[in-house]
Amino acid sequence: MPATVDGDGRVTAWPTRPHWTGLDLAAALRGVFPAAEVCWADDADLAALAEARAADCADLVYAGVGTGVGGGIVLEGRMLPGPRRGSCELGHVIVDRNGARCDCGRRGCVQAEASGPATLRRAATARGAQVTFEELRDGFAEGAAWAVGAVDAGCDALAAALVGVAELVRPTALVVGGGFAMGIPGYVERVAARTAGLARPGHPPAPVRPALLGGRSSLYGAVLAARDGLGGVGQRHR
C-alpha cells in the first residue's frame, strides 16, 4: 500500500490521493477476502524485502524512483522500521531545506527533488518547453545540457538521501529501481558516482546497484511476506 496506514489499518495520508484519507483499509480488505487472514505493508518496504532476497543481501537500502520516490530498509533480512511501527518513508528525507515543495507540504524532500515529475519539471524549465519522459531519455542519451542537468540534479538529491540513510543503518548495498530510474540508461551509474563522491574518509558508502526485479518488486515482496508466515511483517487480522 503506497499510502501511510496506521496500526489500526486506516489510511492516514496519501498526498496524491487525498480522498483515500480515512479509509479503513483493514475493514475493506477483510470485506474483499472474508475467509483469509489479511496483512499489508508499504509497497516500497515490500520492494526492498524482495530486492534483498533477490540479491541474497540481508542489509540493504532500496530507493524506487517513479512518480514519487519510495524506499525501504532491510536489516538482517527484515523490513525496518517494520510495519507495526509504520513505513520507511525514504522519499520524505529532506535533502534541501530550501528546495522544491513536496506533496507532503515540506520543502526539499528527496521526492520533491528527484521524482520523475520533478526531474521532468526541471528539464522543462531548462529547455524552455514541456518535456516528455521519452524526450528526457533521448536528450540525456544525446548529452543535451537541459536533460543531463535535470537528471544529474535528481541523482544528486537521491545520492544525498541514500548516503544519509546509509550513515544510520550501515547497509552493504544501496539499490536503485523504479520505472523512471530504470527507464533512463545510465541513471543508476550516475547515482553510484555521486554516492561514491560523498564518501567520508575511512567510510565509503555501500555500492549502488540497479534493482533486479523491475516493476513487480512490490508484488514479489507481498508474496514473500505472505509465504513467510508474516513473522513481524504487516498486520494480521482475522
Taking contact as CB under 5 A, which single stretch among the options 32-40, 86-94, 155-163, 171-179 is the one that binds Zn ion? 86-94
Number of residues that bind Zn ion (CB under 5 A): 5
Helix 116-127 to helix 145-169 angle, to the nearest 10 degrees?
150
Nearest one of 139, 97, 141, 104 to 122, comparing CA atoms: 139
Cβ nearer to Zn ion, comparing 25 with 110: 110
Shortest separation between residue 65's beta carbon and Zn ion, angstroms: 14
From 79, 102, 161, 222, residue interacting with Zn ion (rule: CB under 5 A)? 102
Shortest separation between residue 20's beta carbon and Zn ion, angstroms: 17
Q: What does DSSP say about strands 11-13 and 78-80: parallel, antiparallel, or unpaired?
A: unpaired
109 forms part of the interface with Zn ion (CB under 5 A): yes
Cβ nearer to Zn ion, comparing 92 with 209: 92
Nearest one of 184, 178, 182, 177 to 132, comparing CA atoms: 184
From 57, 104, 169, 219, residue interacting with Zn ion (rule: CB under 5 A)? 104
- What is the C-alpha to C-alpha distance for residues 209 and 194, in angstroms, rounded to an integer? 13
Nearest one of 75, 69, 74, 122 to 94, comparing CA atoms: 69
Shortest separation between residue 89's beta carbon and Zn ion, angstroms: 8
Contact residues: Zn ion, CB under 5 A:
92, 102, 104, 106, 109
